[in-house]
Amino acid sequence: MTAVTTKLDTFLDREYEAGFVTDVESDTIPKGLSEDTIRLISARKNEPGFMLEWRLQAYRRWLTMTEPAWAQVHYPRIDFQDIAYYSAPKTKTDGPKSLDEVDPELLRTYEKLGVPLHERARLAGVAVDAVFDSVSVATTFKKQLGEHGIVFCSFSEAVKEHPELVQKYLGSVVPQGDNFYAALNSAVFSDGSFVYIPKGVKCPMELSTYFRINARDTGQFERTLIVADEGASVSYLEGCTAPMRDENQLHAAVVELVAMDDAHIKYSTVQNWYPGDKDGKGGIYNFVTKRGDCRGARSRISWTQVETGSAITWKYPSVILRGDDSVGEFHSVALSNHRQQADTGTKMIHIGRNTRSTILSKGISAGHGSNTYRGLVRITPKAVGARNYTQCDSLLIGDKCAAHTFPTVEVRHPSAQVEHEATTSRIGEDQLFYAMQRGLTAEDAVSMIVSGFCREVFKELPMEFAVEAQNLLGVSLEGSIG
Amino acid sequence: MLNIHDLHASVDGKQILRGLTLEVKSGEVHAIMGPNGSGKSTLAQVLAGRDSFQVDSGTVTWDGRDLLALPAEERAREGLFLAFQYPVEIPGVSNAYFLKSAVNAVRRHRGLPELDAMDFLKRVKAEMKAVGMREEFLYRSVNEGFSGGEKKRNEILQMVLLEPRLAVLDETDSGLDIDALRIVADGVNRLRSPDRSMIVITHYQRLLDYIVPDKVHVLSQGRIVRSGGPELALELEQRGYAWTADAPKAGQGASPATAGAARGGAAR
């Protein structure tokens, strides 16, 4: 097995390409967390009073809470006083009004990351909100989207321009005290994206947010809120990267989705935060709460995630199936290599009648990586005719990694149909040799096998993202599409 | 031309091949027979370049080149094909994609243009018909859930598509019914040509009713102990392996390479 393991190691040892640092002057508040910190953040952002009150409420809740310890992840205690909670690149004006006012250094950063913000170079058909450390630096295609009545802007802007929408929906899916990290986020979140799709509107282009952590010793706490009103639909993409640093950095985000009657939200993530080095030094702690509320009848929410980065991933994009006949979906590929740890999965809470959910989870462990699927399927007493199908597959590469599966099923109505399938496989020496005997290299063979393993999830990704996911996993897209 | 000289090889420290010498000229078909544990499969795996099989001494030259110096994928691209005794399943990878990647890897190496999807499908569908495989097998995962006979046909299909210069068939006949056996033999016979050599490893004479070899060798305890024409196979069928010199003593364990191929001895 040694020769094969060496071949696999070469295949898996990819450089982290987004690991550079942008040299910009930052306005970073001192480290530490108190009510004053929160007042300071709120003041920096010129927020209305209701926002500050909401933050302070969350902070007071947070003080009473303890860090969760149930996840299958191990890391030293986080000192929450040793983090700077707000860092923004300095601008001359009070936030750029157009792309011309954005620091060219920032534009170059996004260009290097493959997310050009300039009109001429933009990806056709994708509008981008670019978040750099704690603030949104640019949002593209705002005007065109505005013509359809669609609101797509930074969260800070939404608080000022659409306070009634923010007040109505903020915290309505993930309440302030939902969990330790959600409470922390509610207290200190600095920016993020806001989307509102009005009744009956199908969003004409993909919307996306690109998150970038740059500053040292800071945490990123962004908040995304997407509301699709009756009959509306939107496909939203999220990407993330960070420089290579020896210290761990905290990223504690909250994403809330609301789908009214007949609305459809598709949320896709390609997460490529810095994973730390081979020995587990550095990397992002990605502690994220993502939840969708199928509030209306026949609404549908799909989460698709490709998790390749972060030192630790702790995230469970979930769907509350409140509306009758609503549909929740979760498709996930999580890779943990070297010393990475991923504890991820989903919760499907069936409340409405004839609600349906599908869970498709693919975990890949390599090196010393540890990959855990943790899921909950709950059929409440009112959920007549609810159905769930769950499939959890684990792929092991090499013999030092680990895979765990913790599925929980709670059924409180006899009409429920719940199915669960799980497999674990290992890329074997026999498979590699078989492929090599047909003229393929070991790298091609691994890439082919990994890609075959992920294919059902990749099929769910929008094209641009499927290409990115392919690059990140080093797998061939052709193989995954067949 | 393939020239194996005094080859010694071992698996997990256990010596299996003990001075094997064999010459296969271009265009010839050689059958290698022998009881379980005699080293037949080890020979096949060593020729194909599997890492877990260690060559201790001896030489293998192939058209004047040192075969043992080439990595497995290079041997394959140069035209060495091994039909596996136990074809491997690769879940999630479609047979069509696997076959096309293999064909194009070999074509690239030989300086030929790669086949596009259309040309490839046309070609593969025609060949599938010839080996009696339904088209749906293109879209199923490589060997996954295939019956024993379907797996062997899939091996023959790959062999036909890859057009090897040296084909080694490792007990391709095992576990086949008579119809499947005919299809396999037909695939092999169609490939016979003056610039292609074949080594057919088999336990039974049965296959040699359909593939008439130029030479037959008997392998025992890691060495060739008898060589002759097709008539040697018939003699073996009648008398069993026991009469050949150096025949293994009763109760000798199978080599790891053939472990799992638990079957009765050939002596009947």
CA-CA distance, A186 to A52, in Å (whole number)? 10
Of B50, B96, B106, Cβ closest to residue A439: B106
Q: Which residue has the higher pLDDT, A98 or A406?
A: A406
Residues from chain A that touch B82, judged by Cβ atoms under 8 A, are 437
Residue range A9-25, pLDDT digits in tens: 555 566 666 667 777 77
Any idea how long chain A is?
A: 482
pLDDT value, residue A208? 83
CA-CA distance, A303 to A308, in Å (whole number)? 16
Q: Report which DSSP code applies to A475.
A: -
pLDDT value, residue A10? 52
Task: Report residue A44 as tokens.
Answer: 């920096």
CA-CA distance, A180 to A431, in Å (whole number)? 44
CB pairs under 8 A between A and B: 87
pLDDT value, residue B257? 39
Lowest average pLDDT, out of A50-59, A70-79, A468-477, B189-198, goes to: A468-477
What is the average pLDDT score of chain A? Answer: 84
Report domain extents, chain B. Answer: 2-243
Of A425, A433, A444, Cβ closest to residue B72: A433
Q: Which residue of chain B has the CA closest to A480?
A: B93
B92/A453 Cβ within 8 A: yes
Q: Which residue of chain B has the CA closest to A3?
A: B51
CA-CA distance, B173 to B176, in Å (whole number)? 6
Q: Do the beta carbons of residue A153 and residue A95 sit within 8 Å?
A: no
A150 within domain boundaries: yes
A18 within domain boundaries: no
B72/A449 Cβ within 8 A: no
A261 within domain boundaries: yes
Q: How many folded domains does chain A comprise?
A: 1
Residue A478 pLDDT greater than 50, yes or no: no
CA-CA distance, A16 to A32, in Å (whole number)? 30
Interface of A with B (CB under 8 A): 3-4, 425, 428-431, 433-442, 444, 448-449, 451-453, 455, 478-479, 482
B82/A444 Cβ within 8 A: no
Of B90, B102, B109, Cβ closest to residue A452: B90
Residues from chain B that touch A479, judged by Cβ atoms under 8 A, are 93-94, 97, 101
Question: Side chain identity at A175, as an amino acid letter?
Answer: P
pLDDT value, residue B262? 38
Percent of chain A with pLDDT over 70: 84
Residue A115 pLDDT greater than 90, yes or no: no
Of B49, B77, B94, Cβ closest to residue A482: B94
What would the mean pLDDT of A423-440 be, rounded to a whole number?
Answer: 90
What would the mean pLDDT of A332-356 be, rounded to a whole number?
Answer: 92
A439/B105 Cβ within 8 A: yes
A3/B101 Cβ within 8 A: no
Among candidates A226, A285, A236, A286, which has minimal Cα distance to A258? A226
CA-CA distance, A464 to A451, in Å (whole number)? 17
CA-CA distance, A111 to A127, in Å (whole number)? 15
Q: Kindly indicate the confidence band of residue A96, based on its pLDDT and cuts at 50, 70 and 90.
A: low
Residues from chain B that touch A435, judged by Cβ atoms under 8 A, are 90, 98, 102
Distance (Å) from the alpha carbon of A25 to chain B's nearest alpha carbon = 49
Residues from chain B that touch A434, judged by Cβ atoms under 8 A, are 84, 87-88, 90
Going from the C-alpha of A206 to that of each of A267, A272, A274, the distances in angstroms are 10, 20, 25
B97/A479 Cβ within 8 A: yes
Of B50, B81, B93, Cβ closest to residue A449: B93
Highest mean pLDDT among A150-154, A231-235, B250-254: A231-235
B82/A440 Cβ within 8 A: no
pLDDT value, residue A479? 32
DSSP secondary structure string for all residues of A247-266? SEEEE--EEEEEE-TT-EEE
A19 within domain boundaries: no
Distance (Å) from the alpha carbon of A6 to chain B's nearest alpha carbon = 12
Residues from chain A that touch B89, judged by Cβ atoms under 8 A, are 431
Residue range A366-406, pLDDT digits in tens: 888 888 999 999 999 999 999 999 999 998 887 788 889 99
pLDDT value, residue A98? 64
A437/B82 Cβ within 8 A: yes
Distance (Å) from the alpha carbon of B89 to chain A's nearest alpha carbon = 7
A21 within domain boundaries: no
Q: Do the beta carbons of residue B201 and residue B261 sit within 8 Å?
A: no
Task: Report residue B28 as tokens.
Answer: 């010839």
Instruction: Give the CA radius of gyration of chain B.
Output: 18
pLDDT value, residue A280? 75
A452/B88 Cβ within 8 A: no
B84/A434 Cβ within 8 A: yes
Beta-bridge mates of residue A194: A153, A225
Identify the sign of the CA torsion B138, B141, B143, B144. Answer: negative
Beta-bridge mates of residue A88: A27
Of A3, A425, A436, Cβ closest to residue B91: A425
A433/B50 Cβ within 8 A: yes
Alpha helices in chain B (DSSP H): 40-48, 72-77, 95-109, 117-130, 148-162, 178-191, 230-239
Tokens 């306070």 label which residue? A163
Residue A278 pLDDT greater than 90, yes or no: no
Going from the C-alpha of A157 to that of each of A38, A46, A163, A165, A474, the distances in angstroms are 18, 10, 9, 12, 38
CA-CA distance, B140 to B117, in Å (whole number)? 17
What would the mean pLDDT of A134-155 be, rounded to a whole number?
Answer: 82
User: What are the counts of helices (DSSP H) followed by strands (DSSP E) for chain A?
Assistant: 12, 23
Q: Where does residue B111 rank: exposed (0-12), middle (13-18), buried (19+ CB within 10 A)?
A: exposed
Highest mean pLDDT among A189-193, A355-359, A450-454: A355-359
pLDDT value, residue A106? 72
A433/B51 Cβ within 8 A: yes
pLDDT value, residue A444? 84
Q: Which residue has the higher pLDDT, A122 or A321?
A: A321
Tokens 């008439």 label which residue? B212
A436/B73 Cβ within 8 A: yes
Domain of A319? 27-426
B91/A436 Cβ within 8 A: no
Q: What is the pLDDT along chain B (268 residues), one digit of tens a residue?
A: 899 999 999 999 999 999 999 999 999 999 999 988 899 999 999 999 998 899 999 999 999 999 999 999 999 999 999 999 999 999 888 999 999 999 999 999 999 999 998 999 999 999 999 888 999 999 999 999 999 889 999 999 999 999 999 999 999 888 788 888 888 898 889 999 999 999 999 988 888 889 999 999 999 999 999 999 988 888 888 887 776 654 444 334 334 333 333 333 333 3
What CATH architecture is B2-243?
3-Layer(aba) Sandwich (3.40)
pLDDT value, residue B16? 96
